[in-house]
């Protein structure tokens, strides 16, 4: 499933090919995504120049002259850059043709993604307005997390995966950041110390930044290639390693369930 690093990698991969180009045509072959692609979208964006690309949480934002294209990759979506026009496959639902002949092709086998367009301020959009801060910006600090965590009884792992608290901390990254911080994933949030918040914030930033840098490596052949999203390929410390020895202390990694998600931890290293 594309997480924040894959979306950021996609943004960085497509931006050089689409910046300052004008959209000449949008073709929607199947509008049945998570929300139907609005039938008016192709004509609304046609002839508009692409001014910038942004990312907010897992939304890829393509800034046009009069509004913003909002793209979400859902469970299985990917965008690739084509320099020609190969016959679209079964799951190639949307094409965006640009005035330089480049084409963005959206593939999404499970169709949980989204393509929307708005001319209202993006920060007020219903999908964006209630999101917490971006983890890789200076608005996500230990001070912020500590204040938010007071009097909370929820488990710390659930807390850091809550998009109203901070966006983009998917299951893999939550597990890894808690390991690096030495924190037991089911610790009640309100008992997290100031010092632990500092470590947690620092480690969340570190695992996401590393994943982005590796996603970039995986997606080096962004143009033309098969467009597969670059999954986090680093050697993980705990995620998916149930029963295997901890890289730090060789104690066997254990698994818990947290809100129906797999939680992996080292019982020796994560006792706080």
Catalytic residues: 2-3, 58, 261
Using rule CB under 5 A, residue 178 touches Zn ion: no
Shortest reach from residue 179's CB to Zn ion, in Å:
8
**Pattern 229-258, Zn ion, x by CB under 5 A:** -----------------x-xx-x-------
Number of residues that bind Zn ion (CB under 5 A): 7
Using rule CB under 5 A, residue 183 touches Zn ion: no
Selected from 4, 69, 94, 269, the binder of Zn ion by CB under 5 A is 269
Q: Which is nearer to Zn ion, 251 or 259 (CB)?
A: 251
**Pattern 188-227, Zn ion, x by CB under 5 A:** ----------------------------------------
Shortest reach from residue 271's CB to Zn ion, in Å:
10
SS3 sequence of the chain:
CCCHHHHHHHHHHHHHHHCCCEEEEEEECCCCCCCCCCCCHHHHHCCCEEEEEEEECCEEEEEECCCEEEEECCCCCEEEEECCCCCCCCCEEEEEEECCCCEEEEECCCCCCEEEEECCCHHHCCCCCCCCCCCCCCCCCHHHHHHHHCCCCCEHHHHHCCCCCCCCCCHHHHHHHHHHHCCCCCCEHHHCCHHHHHHHHHHHHHHHHHHHHHHHHHCCCCECCCCCCCCCCCCCCCCCCCCCECCCCCCECEEEEECCEEEEECCCCCCC
């Amino acid at each position: 499933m594309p997480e924040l690093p894959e979306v950021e990698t996609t943004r960085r991969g497509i931006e050089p090919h689409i910046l300052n180009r004008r959209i000449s045509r949008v073709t929607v072959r199947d509008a049945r995504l998570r929300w139907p692609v609005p039938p008016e979208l192709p004509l609304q964006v046609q002839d508009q120049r692409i001014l910038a690309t942004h990312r907010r949480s897992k939304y890829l934002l393509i800034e046009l002259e009069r509004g913003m294209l909002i793209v979400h990759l859902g469970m299985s979506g990917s965008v690739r850059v084509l320099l020609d026009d190969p016959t679209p496959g079964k799951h190639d639902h949307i094409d965006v043709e640009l005035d330089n002949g480049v084409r963005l092709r959206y593939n999404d086998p499970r169709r949980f993604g989204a393509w929307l367009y708005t001319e209202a301020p993006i920060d007020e959009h219903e999908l964006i307005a209630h999101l917490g801060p971006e983890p890789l910006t200076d608005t996500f600090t230990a001070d912020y997390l500590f204040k938010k965590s007071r009097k909370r009884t929820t488990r710390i792992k659930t807390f850091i995966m809550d998009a109203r608290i901070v966006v983009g901390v998917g299951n893999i990254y939550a597990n890894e950041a808690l390991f690096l911080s030495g924190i037991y994933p089911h610790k009640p949030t309100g008992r997290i110390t100031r010092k632990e918040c500092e470590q947690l914030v620092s480690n969340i930033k570190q695992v996401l930044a590393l994943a982005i840098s590796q996603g970039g490596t995986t997606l080096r052949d962004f143009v033309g290639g098969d467009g597969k999203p670059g999954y986090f390929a680093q050697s993980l410390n705990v995620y998916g390693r149930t029963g295997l020895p901890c890289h730090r202390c060789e104690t066997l990694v254990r698994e818990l369930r947290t809100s129906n998600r797999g939680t992996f931890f080292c019982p020796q290293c994560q006792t706080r």
